[in-house]
Amino acid sequence: MIVVTAPTGQIGRKVLDHLLDAHPHAPKGAAPVRVIVRDPARLPAAVRERVEVVRGSHADPAVLKEACAGADRLFWLVPPAPAADSVEGHFRDFTEPLREEIGRGAIERVVNVSSLGRGVAKNAGQVSASLSMDEAIEATGVHYRALCPPFLMENLLGQAGSIRDAGVFYLALAEDRVLRTCATGDIAATAARLLLDGSWTGQGDVPLVGPDALTPEGMAGVISEVLGRTVRFRRTSSMEYKATALRFGASEASAQGLADMTNAMNAQGFYGAAAPSTPETAPAGFRQWCEEVLRPAVLG
């Protein structure tokens, strides 16, 4: 039995699709997949018919215990919490129940969505909290794979309106430095492959770095070509980024974490050119993603 957390998010729902596609002839309700979800109504009806549903949050020890009963593999993703009082506390609230559940001995393999930057990122807000989670889970001794992408291409979807209406997108990153990217579809595909394979052992990071070596200015050029109109990149400061997050309802701690993360990315370069591409785990290029995902979001 495979347990999937965050199954309605942009990564989790794709993981779930891959897992169900691997069992296309399973009777309704018989596919060996169980999901933890706060609101089951957010799952498509066809999906609800084919999975076991445990309602609640995977930060709740009782919910996690129920979901993991009889399961041996777990897809783990800590959802964002812009209103959290503490970035580290938010990750810890999810990690401690997982460590307890692993200690019961049922879960043998965990696949987690983490980040590039291990051994490099310092005082990097949400990235540092995610990397600390990796270490805490690994300390249990469970077979473990940390999926480690850099900047997610889907982060740009939140600026589809600005790209459409003003021809501009914003990042608090240096305009002339390479920003490595990854599509969430590649994260999901890699996660599903690992979850369907019950033979791997040990612990390790799985980098997911797309084939491009684009600067933000270079990204603007690709977007312009795909959309057939001029799109410009504008750099904001980390403090402007923080102020924007606060305006959209983020807590002081969460907004400061985002500012710390961008400062660390600029200063430490863990999403930069030094990260080699990994075509076996992240084949999707930025142009392909713009054509298939960003263009419909902007023009649709």
Domain boundaries, the chain: 2-152+183-207
Sequence-ordered list of residues with C-beta below 8 angstroms from that of 51, at least 6 positions apart, any chain: 4, 7, 16, 20, 29, 31, 33, 34, 35, 43
The DSSP 8-state label assigned to residue 79 in this structure reads: P
The predicted-structure confidence for 30-80, as pLDDT tens digits, reads as follows 569 999 999 999 999 989 888 999 999 999 999 999 999 999 999 999 999
Angle at the Cα of 98 (from 94 to 101), degrees rounded to 5?
150
Name the average pLDDT for the chain. Answer: 94
| Nearest alpha-carbon partner for 225 in 210, 214, 234 | 214
Q: Smallest Cα–Cα separation from 220: which of 277, 151, 286?
A: 286
Q: How confident is the model at residue 26 (pLDDT cuts 50, 70, 90)?
A: low
Three-state secondary-structure class, residue 41: helix
Q: What is the pLDDT of residue 96?
A: 96
Q: d(Cα 233, Cα 19) in Å, to the nearest integer?
A: 37
Q: pLDDT tens digits for 257-298?
A: 999 999 999 999 999 999 999 999 999 999 999 999 999 999
CA angle 45, 48, 51 (to 5 degrees): 155
CA 116 to each of CA 45, 99, 147, 155, 156: distance values in angstroms, whole numbers, following the listed order: 35, 22, 8, 16, 19
- Residue 105 confidence (pLDDT): 85
Amino acid at residue number 256: Q
Position 216 scores a pLDDT of 95
CA distances from 45 to 27, 31, 41, 42, 115 (A): 15, 15, 8, 9, 32
pLDDT in tens, 154-180: 999 999 999 999 999 999 988 889 999
CA–CA distances in Å: residue 8 to residues 47, 87, 183, 259? 11, 22, 17, 27
Q: Where does 2-152+183-207 sit in CATH, by number?
A: 3.40.50.720
| Stronger pLDDT, 176 or 195, i.e. the higher one | 195
